[in-house]
Structure formats: C-alpha cells, structure tokens
Amino acid sequence: MKPLSIITLDQISDALDSIDLLGEMRSAFIAYSSGRSVIPPVGELIIDEQPPGEVHIKYGYVRGGAHYVVKIASGFPRNQELGLPPGNGMMILFDVSNGSISSILLDEGQLTDVRTAAAGALASSVLGVPGARVGIIGTGVQARLQAVHHASALDRDDLMVWGRNLGKCSLLASDLEAHGLKVEIAESAEELAERCRTIVTCTASHTPLLTRPMIQPGTHVTAVGSDTPDKQELDPRILGSADLVVVDSLSQGLVRGEVARSIDAGTITPGRVVELGQILDGSNPGRSDPNHCTVADLTGVAVQDLFIAEAVARSLV
C-alpha cells in the first residue's frame, strides 16, 4: 500500500501552474458524457442559520481509473464581512481497488474555484463566437478567476465587468488590471449585454440578472453561479429562445441550475439540452451559426474534481 500523501494549499497553488486545466476539464467532460464515469447525485447541506451557508459533497470515479474522489466544498457569503474567504473545503482521493486513502488535498476550496473557472472558459471557447468581447457579471473570487481564464483561453485581454455592488466591482477591476488585463466597468447589466457577445455570470443571485430583451444576436452566455435549486441568474426566456442549450450534466441540470428553473417555467424541455462533453467529443456539432444564441449552464460535476485532484497529485510525485 502506498503511503498517504497530504497535499497543502501552497503545494496545490504551485502545482496548478504546470497543469493544463482546460485539457483536464475537456477530458473530464468527455469521460462523463461518454458514460465512463459513475457520479451519484450531489450531497447538499443548506445551513439556514444566520449567517447562512451551504455545503456541497460531490463524489465519483471513472471506470478503469485509479481513484475515486470525495470533495467537500462550502460557501459562506458573509465571511467577507469577517475577513474570511467565502469558500473552503478539501478533496480526498481513494484507491478505487481497495478503498485506502491515497491523497488528502487541503485546498480550502481553491481547486473547486479553479476547475469551475477553467470549465467556464472551456465552454465559452467552444460555444462563443471567436473574437467576441467578454463580459463578466459578478464581483467575487469566481468573477476574477473567470476573467483570468477567459482572457487566456480566448487570447483577449480586454473585458467588461458589472456587479450589483459598485465598490466591489471597482476592486475587481483594479485587481484584474494589476494582472495585465484591460477592464471597463459597465453601468448596468443592460450595457454589458449590449456590448459583449460572450457573457459569464458568476453570482449567488436568486433572481435573474439577465433578461431576454438584453440578449443580442450571436451572444453566448456561460452561467456558473446557479449551483443549487434556489439560485438563478438568467431569465428562463433566454434559454427558451436560445438556439443551443448546453449543460455539464443533464441529470444535475434537471434539478438545479438555469435549465431546471427554465423547465419549471415551461420555456424549455429536457430534449432540447445537450451535454458539453458531447460537443467536445464531436458527437454534437455545437454552434452552427455566428448569429445564434447559445447558453452553457454549468452546475459543477464530481468528475471535474476527480481529474483536477489527480492532476495535482501526479504533478507532485
């Protein structure tokens, strides 16, 4: 039996610099949509005390692989008022042949944040119109990561941001500019949607921030914030009128995220939804017209956690 490896946050941060994150996410989604992975429903704990919080437990393995993963990730949005990060967590890799623990990754939620951002950038790169300006809706950790990963994946360093809190929006813009990006702050979500053809929503909103009249022809929207049944960033009519609606997991999309809310609203049926892995492996052609509107609703799948955790562990051997 191999010795247990405990991987610290500093080791994880250093390892991420050498990992092809988009490549790992591409492989993860293809494995998922091809039916090679075993991913049970998400475990979820909603803490309805004050201050509120939520805990997600995701787990699974890929047939023929070396490990199964168990990931715990929490979100406490009011932590910032206390000077604490809003997210935390860890990932554990187990030997799939005997159940022994191979690695404990003390990532404090970083791997979840990074794999979410990489998945968002991957979705936008395959579904968006090439050369489109990127607009980020949100002001938190995920907004920053989405901006950085989109700039790298799309090879475009100018973008627009908008958030409901102008102070936080200004701080985000300053941070991104310090990392070499050119950032313009939109005065409203309407302005951002009018001037950007790739839009990323990464908030914890419970009411739509984008409405159908805002969406211009040729727009792609990657929505990553709605990861519980009660969150919502998009008007269901956006999905109802979209030419292509994509999810990371159809089974998850039926119970959480923008697709679930749109099904409930009667604007879309499950038969109109395809998985991202089907586009990545070529079994679905994806966008077929630059004037089409497309939506990617990403709720986060355990296979992403497995692939990024294994990539980190491999890099440290």
Catalytic residue among 71, 168, 182, 231: 71
Three-state SS annotation for 93-160: EEECCCCCEEEEECCCCHHHHHHHHHHHHHHHHHHCCCCCCEEEECCCHHHHHHHHHHHHHHCCCEEE
Name the percent of the chain in helix, strand, coil, to the closest 5: 40, 25, 35
Write the Ramachandran bin of 108: left for phi over 0, alpha for psi from -120 to 50, otherwise beta. left
The span from the CA of 213 to the CA of 240, in Å, is 13
| Whether residue 182 lies in the annotated active site | no
**Main-chain phi, psi angles of 47, to 5 degrees:** -95, 105
Q: In the chain, how long is the greatest CA-to-CA distance?
A: 59
Catalytic sites, residue numbers: 71
